[in-house]
Structure 1
Amino acid sequence: MHTSRHRSLLLAVAGTALALSLTACQDDSGGKSSTAPASSGTQASPRATDTSGATGPAGSSDPGRSKAPAGSTGASAGSAGQGTASTPVCTARDVHITAARQDGPPYTHLVLTARNTARHSCRLPGFPHIQFLESHKQDVTAVARSKPAAPVALAPGAPAYALVKLSDGGAHEDNEPVSAFSVMLEGDSTVIAVTAPGSGGVAVDPAKALTGYWTPELRNGADDF
């Protein structure tokens, strides 16, 4: 009878231990179950990082990268537009024009210098529209081969030049003395009075007079016409 009670006590203790062991296993399984979502969350975190990173495929990265090139392209186009179409054409108020003799006697050519006196850049297209004499109202003919590849752009203080032929040289009856003459810029109807160089002015043959286009530098011999 004593042995039976002892065996029953051992069985009870073993059952209790088994129950505790099963409970622990269930707790461990529950712990693992609760850990799994945490692991999934860890995997979601790199995707979130990729989305905000430069190399991420998500949409929040692509718009940022597409906007930057678009913005930079617009800026460069804008810049390009300001250097051409947005740069104003020079007017009579923007430039100061002077005349000087070129070479020595018989002084058949003049050099016109147009210097930008404004505080902004401007374009100087075409050629100077020159009238030497009141009796000859037509502009002096321009020489096409002196035309530059692009209109001259003048920064503040920068000069442009035009070579002007007065006559074939020598004294003959068609030459007329000129102490001052008029110049107009392309696109501006304002008449600019230019003083001829020398105390006695210059001798002009209206039938022989020619002018070159405005150029950024005087080309020696290239416009010798």
Structure 2
Amino acid sequence: MVKMKEREHNQRLDSKDSWTVWSNSSCKLINIKEVRPHSVSITEFGAVGDWITLNTKAFQNAIFYLKLYADKGGAKLFVPAGRWFTGSFDLISHLTLLLDKDAVILGSTNPGDWPVVDPPPSYGRGRELPGGWHRSLIYGCNLTDVIITGNNGTIDGQRSIWWIESMNSKNVLISNVTFLNSPFWTMHHVYCSHVTVQNVTILAPFGLPNTDGIDSYSLIMYALKTGYISVTTQKH
């Protein structure tokens, strides 16, 4: 089991002293397919990057369409420049989510856009209330060969719910993306194997509790390399 937390300070991960964290005897670069033979843009499914239009259905429909190519070399969903307002959506296996350098995915601030689901068995009951929790902005379960990347494109939680969760998945790469304003854990990887996080920037408001940069549990082969994290962990 690997768990990482950032306290109330800034931590830079440089190439000279990058962190490599493992729950086994070694940690290797994961083997995933970075070139996808099939590619679509989110705009082909009616998305509008105006910071106003809710694009949840566009993301869901695009990814549903790309399932056709999961066993044909995989597929890529491109998010061009713009501010793309959306609720929660699920990823699929053999998918690359690619953000343009001027693309911003913005999490909806409406709780109705975030389904409530059961937490992982190891999480237990909530501290204040029993029951489920809101699904993350970008969610994946029982997947393999998944990439979230971009030329420093941005995913902005707008302090709404939380961002990226992968569960029971393997061969996951998250790289070259900036994450802003999470109200809760920015990334949560649980029961996964061969996860690599590299060249990411994670910034969350100081004083807002539980904005941990990366929370990871029950992993096999996990690597965190070269990035910058500035968040606040739990307050008691």
TM-score between both structures, scaled by the size of structure 2: 0.18
Q: Which structure has the larger Rg?
A: 1
The structure with the largest strand share of the pair is 2
Pick 1 or 2: higher relative contact order, CA cutoff 8 A, min separation 6: 2
The structure with the largest helix share of the pair is 1
TM-score between both structures, scaled by the size of structure 1: 0.18
